[in-house]
Amino acid sequence: MDDTQYSQFENNQSSVRPWLSASALFLFSALSLVDRYSMSIMIPEIKQDLSLTDVQISLLQGLSFATFYGLFGLLIGYTADIFSKKIIIYLSITVWPVRFHGSVS
């Protein structure tokens, strides 16, 4: 492979990597939305099974979610200032499915 072919290969490889990264982040974002809205789909069954009122369901969906999201958003934001963002994204993507699998089992 001569120098011009090698530099063309390098240029192609460098232009594909951002698209792969953006595609992966899009996929993870879509999965996050599916996870977030899955509870809304199950509300009637949860309400009947646990004999919850509308107020209790709204507290479960609204207040507890907002509190959890806000506190962990601040915590993850603080750690993003200290540690590498790659590590935080990796841990976020790997820890969440493990947590979900533990709650299903």
pLDDT band at 32 (very low <50, low <70, confident <90, very high): confident
pLDDT in tens, 59-77: 888 888 889 889 988 998 8
- Angle, helices 85-104 vs 3-41, to 10°: value is 40
Closest CA to 59 of 46, 45, 71, 77: 46
Q: Where are the domains of the chain?
A: 19-104
